[in-house]
């Protein structure tokens, strides 16, 4: 698929090429966005949440599994952190006749499926690490293009509800992934390829429906390496609201991944479950979590649009998520674990129902929406880099299996993340 097949005049510096949306997005487009989010996160999050942990246990001795899983996920997350803003900038400047976002949705998903095949067939940690590194790059090429479609086509007065719906799908995906894992725990090929192929099919629906108009001109020239480095930077001095929102998401995401990376091992060690039993319990727990997310996200998104307020939802939801982490410390049974998952889901659901809407509202430049959203998404991918390492250190402190220290640290991060959203002024 040619990405720059048209010869176009060059835009002047400062010339506006894309106007922000003012018309309500059609239900068909919103629905396509929702199922594309489901597909993308089904393919990406199933390995992160469960499949990689199962894969590592088939190729690494028990005493090295936590370390190996931390290495694989951390290296993949470095790729995600770099790829998202880079492909965001490339997407913003793509002059293909097929539009700015469509080509990267297709390329990203095809590459992701191929990378998952490498992981499935890998027989050592090195191969699995390379596969997940590539999977993270391609997934974030697609993700950068996808998130930008919301900024491109959804007006401000509709963003809370769309953000809530997308947030629901983002969390339904891992739930479905855990059920795939439960069915194919002993079949690595199906464990990785079913989420990948289904994800590609669902994203293709958005590719078909998306009214992705080509740019009328080539973007203005950029200043080489200096502009490339600026891909990863939005000045907090010039755009403080964006910076505070970034910090808040970073801390919540870090807290979340500190637990979810080791969730399967937590169930095995703290509740004395086998790998098969832990997978079964985790699948039910994620179902409970997802139901709570769906309720929280849709309710918060709708109410946020009605009240025209975002900050209070972010702050309260982050605190509730922290409470869920504390409940995990005190869990001594499967029932306790399920209750903690419900609290976590409610907190994260309210957060996801409002977060994307708030971020798009404070974007520095609509012309560079994908790039700036890519910078913001470093607050999601960056914690994936350091969370496994931090989590492994905390869990291994004091002789090992120190999950209370891990979860207590995550709860503290949630409190700080709630406070970080308060200085935002541009959005109430």
Q: What's the pLDDT tens digit per position in 331-362?
A: 999 999 999 999 999 998 888 778 877 887 77
Total-model pTM: 0.72
Is pLDDT of 25 > 80?
yes
Average pLDDT for residues 263-289, to the nearest whole number?
87
Is pLDDT of 426 > 80?
no
State residue 154 phi and psi, 5-degree precision: -115, 120
CA distance 79 to 91: 17
pLDDT value at residue 414:
92
Is pLDDT of 217 > 90?
no
Within 8 A by CB and 6+ apart from 147, the residues are 356, 370, 373, 377
pLDDT over 70 percentage in the chain: 90
Average pLDDT for residues 398-408, to the nearest whole number?
87
Q: In this structure, is the dihedral angle defined by the CA atoms of residues 304, 256, 337 and 273, taken in order, positive or negative?
A: positive
Instruction: Tell which residue, 317, 289, 395, has the closest CA to residue 69.
Output: 395
Q: Kindly write down the DSSP assignment for every residue of 236-247, as one continuous string.
A: TTT-HHHHHHHH
pLDDT value at residue 261:
79
pLDDT value at residue 45:
86
pLDDT value at residue 129:
95
pLDDT value at residue 1:
44
CA distance 118 to 336: 37
27-213+224-420 CATH: 1.20.1250.20
Residue spans of the domains in the chain: they are: 27-213+224-420
When the pLDDT of each residue in the chain is averaged and rounded to a whole number, the result is 85
H/E segment holding residue 103: helix 102-121
pLDDT over 90 percentage in the chain: 34
Is pLDDT of 4 > 50?
no
What pLDDT, in 10s, does the model give residues 88-128?
Answer: 888 888 888 888 899 999 999 999 999 999 999 999 999 99
CB contact at 8 A, 270 and 422:
no
Between 416 and 372, the more confident residue is 416
pLDDT value at residue 143:
92
């Amino acid at each position: 698929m040619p990405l720059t097949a048209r010869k176009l005049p060059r835009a002047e510096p400062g010339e506006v090429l894309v106007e922000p949306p003012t018309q309500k997005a059609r239900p068909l487009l919103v629905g396509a966005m929702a199922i594309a989010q489901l597909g993308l996160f089904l393919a990406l999050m199933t390995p992160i949440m469960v499949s990689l942990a199962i894969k590592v246990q088939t190729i690494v001795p028990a005493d090295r599994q936590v370390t190996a899983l931390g290495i694989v996920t951390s290296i993949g997350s470095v790729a995600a952190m770099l790829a998202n803003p880079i492909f965001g900038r490339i997407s913003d400047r793509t002059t293909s006749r097929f539009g700015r976002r469509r080509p990267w949705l297709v390329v990203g998903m095809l590459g992701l499926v191929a990378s998952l095949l490498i992981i499935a067939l890998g027989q050592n940690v090195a191969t699995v690490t390379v596969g997940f590194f590539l999977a993270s790059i391609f997934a974030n090429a697609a993700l950068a293009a996808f998130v930008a479609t919301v900024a491109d086509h959804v007006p401000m007065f509709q963003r809370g509800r769309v953000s809530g719906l997308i947030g629901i799908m983002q969390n339904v995906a891992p739930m479905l992934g855990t059920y795939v894992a439960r069915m194919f725990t002993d079949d690595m090929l199906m464990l990785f390829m079913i989420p990948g192929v289904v994800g590609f099919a669902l994203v293709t629906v958005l590719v078909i429906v998306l009214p992705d108009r080509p740019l009328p001109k080539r973007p203005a020239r950029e200043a080489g390496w200096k502009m490339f480095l600026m891909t990863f930077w939005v000045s907090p001095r010039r755009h403080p609201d964006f910076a505070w929102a970034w910090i808040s998401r970073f801390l919540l995401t870090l807290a979340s991944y500190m637990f979810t990376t080791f969730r399967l091992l937590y169930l095995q060690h703290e509740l004395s479950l086998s790998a098969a039993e832990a997978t079964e319990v985790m699948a039910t727990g994620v179902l409970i979590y997802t139901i709570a997310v769906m309720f929280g996200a849709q309710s918060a998104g709708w109410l946020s649009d009605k009240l025209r307020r975002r900050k209070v939802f972010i702050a309260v939801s982050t605190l509730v998520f922290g409470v869920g982490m504390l409940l995990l410390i005190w869990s001594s049974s499967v029932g306790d674990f399920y209750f903690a998952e419900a609290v976590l889901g409610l907190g994260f659901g309210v957060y996801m129902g409002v977060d994307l809407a708030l971020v798009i509202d404070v974007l520095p430049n609509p012309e560079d929406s994908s790039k700036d959203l890519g910078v913001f998404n470093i607050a999601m991918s960056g914690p994936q880099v350091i969370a496994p390492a931090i989590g492994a250190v905390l869990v291994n402190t004091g002789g090992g299996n120190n999950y209370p220290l891990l979860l207590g640290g995550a709860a503290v991060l949630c409190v700080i993340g709630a406070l970080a959203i308060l200085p935002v002024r541009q959005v109430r």
